[in-house]
Amino acid sequence: MIVVGITGASGSILGVRLVEELLNLEQKVVGVVSAEAWSVMTHELSFKPSGREPLRELLVKRGLTARLGAYQEFDDKNLFAAIASGTSSFRAVVVMPTSMKTLSAVANGYADSLITRSCDVALKEKRQCILVPRETPLSLIHVENMRKAMLAGAQIAPPMPGFYTRPKSIDDVVNFTVGKVINLLGLQHTLFKSWGAETSEES
């Protein structure tokens, strides 16, 4: 089981695509969308959720229905959800995108939301905690928080596209970051060709 948190940094599509791909890879996924991420999703994806499960609604709207049995969603304020406890068996949490506020909370153990608490749990239980921080430029506070989170065991995977895959669309750019995170989770994907495969095909 993999937890995917979406916070209010720009790039909600990254988290949405990650959930879609993980479900396609037959993973169980728990989704949590922060209150601010709802607003950003409304703006960036022209999508206004009507209920308490914004991501499920969006997945359905985007045509993913077959695998939704493997998907669960909780409110970011719901600290009674199973993933708020170390007794829950999730193996990894990915926060994609991670706002600088959530980065700060994770780096400093300020676990007042389900997303930050599940990261806190992952770090204390020595499970995978992958943060995809999105901001530019970075202040020293941001950099120090990334350093602190890394020292505590988090992996930092900023959404930085590699141009050697010759992206032709925004989808290609999004898929690159999503694919890199899926690689970190130890799963295989076909979202982009790895460097050797790319060059050997072209030669």
Ligand X SMILES: Cc1cc2nc3c(=O)[nH]c(=O)nc-3n(C[C@H](O)[C@H](O)[C@H](O)COP(=O)(O)O)c2cc1C
What residues make contact with ligand X under the rule CB under 6 A? 7-10, 34, 36-37, 39-40, 43, 99-102, 134-135
> Rounded CA gap, 103 and 148, in Å?
10
* C-beta closer to ligand X: residue 102 or 165: 102
Which phi and psi angles does 74 have, rounded to 5°? -130, 155
DSSP state of 126: T
In the complex, which residue's CB is closest to ligand X? 8
Smallest separation (angstroms) from ligand X to the CB of 96:
12
* C-beta closer to ligand X: residue 33 or 192: 33
* C-beta closer to ligand X: residue 125 or 135: 135
What does the block give as tokens for 37?
């991420």
Smallest separation (angstroms) from ligand X to the CB of 103:
7
In angstroms, what is the C-alpha Rg of the chain?
16
> Rounded CA gap, 84 and 70, in Å?
19
> Rounded CA gap, 4 and 31, in Å?
5
Which residues are registered as beta bridge partners of 75? Answer: 33
* C-beta closer to ligand X: residue 36 or 172: 36
> Rounded CA gap, 50 and 126, in Å?
36
Which phi and psi angles does 147 have, rounded to 5°? -60, -45
Smallest separation (angstroms) from ligand X to the CB of 171:
20
Smallest separation (angstroms) from ligand X to the CB of 38:
9
Cβ atoms of 106 and 119 within 8 Å: the answer is: yes
Smallest separation (angstroms) from ligand X to the CB of 200:
37
* C-beta closer to ligand X: residue 102 or 128: 102
